[in-house]
Amino acid sequence: MYYIVTGAAGFIGSNLVKALNDRGENNIIAVDNLKSADKFRNLVDCDIADFLDKEDFRKKMREGFFDGLVVAIFHQGACSDTMATDGRYVMDNNYQYTLDLLNYCQEEEIPFIYASSASVYGGGKDFRESRECEAPLNVYAYSKFLFDQIVRRRHKLSAQVVGLRYFNVYGPREQHKGRMASVAYHFFNQYRAEGKVRLFEGCDGYENGSQLRDFVSIEDVVRVNLHFLDHPEVSGIYNVGTGQSQSFNDVAAATINTLRSREGKGALTLAELKQQGLIEYIPFPDALKGKYQSYTQADVSALRKSGYAAPFLTVEQGVARYVEKLLEK
């Protein structure tokens, strides 16, 4: 029997594969599109049973190749570029592909745990898993939103279906994402290369670098996924964030101070980091105006009611751990 992880060479997918390995599971079918070939590096330290291109996997699934052979499917594969303009591709990759997998898992009566996104909330201020809070700002967010609506309409489920609305995830194995990698990753590289980090100037009434996001460590994201794997009786759509927003300035300060500590230097306050030119601000991009979430904060009450009780890492804790791992490499 096999676990199937789609997007397995990507950020969250590869961390899930590694976590399953840590549990002693290596009968894993890794599914991905390696058009960006460097993603293979995320699987080098993982043990899998087979690797399949996404389109080959879809064909085999339609032909019944995996019938009776699957324990559960973790669906992490998606076009995650919020600036994508090819709507047909985004809808096929993020919506239709996911719908095909949902139907398959219901027919096979196996758990289906899939990646949704906090982007479905758009520019709102209320981040509850409720229809009136949802107003996507781009086609990526719409593709995630639309599939969540399908799940809500399925009143009779033959097996577990869990949608996880990830907020701003950061951590190891995201290097292939380029400009879509987390700000913690970019800040780390900027400071190492230039001795300073660059943040956006203020927008939407926020001061420079003070826009607020719910930054969540990949360590916590993996733990939530495995929690639902261990509780197949629970279905639903859940936010995956810390429940506490923090500023981009906080992420920058945590990154710089962890690196300074490794250099034998003391921590600095935000004011001191600005004064010494270690943080600077650049104009807010025109391309993001009207499409940017200046504030997110997950309402995690539904997640807690589902039985998930573990604490979440703060930015200061999680970013420090992430920077240490980046330095190890």
Long-range contacts of 191-196 (CB under 8 A, 24+ apart): 191/255, 191/256, 191/259, 191/278, 192/259, 195/278, 196/277, 196/278, 196/279, 196/280
Whole-prediction pTM = 0.94
The dihedrals phi and psi of 139, each to the nearest 5 degrees, come to: -70, -30
- Identify the pLDDT of residue 36: 81
The one catalytic residue in 95, 114, 121, 140 is 140
CA 250 to CA 254: how far, in whole Å? 6
CA 113 to CA 59: how far, in whole Å? 21
Using alpha carbons only, how large is the chain's radius of gyration in Å? 20
- Identify the pLDDT of residue 80: 59
Low-confidence ranges of the chain (pLDDT < 50): none
- Identify the pLDDT of residue 271: 97
- Identify the pLDDT of residue 322: 98
Residue closest to 157 by CA, chosen among 111, 116, 123: 111
118 in Cβ contact with 127 (< 8 Å): yes
Assess whether 177 carries a catalytic annotation: yes
- Identify the pLDDT of residue 85: 65
The one catalytic residue in 2, 18, 60, 177 is 177
- Identify the pLDDT of residue 155: 75
The pair of structure tokens assigned to 79 is: 């076009």
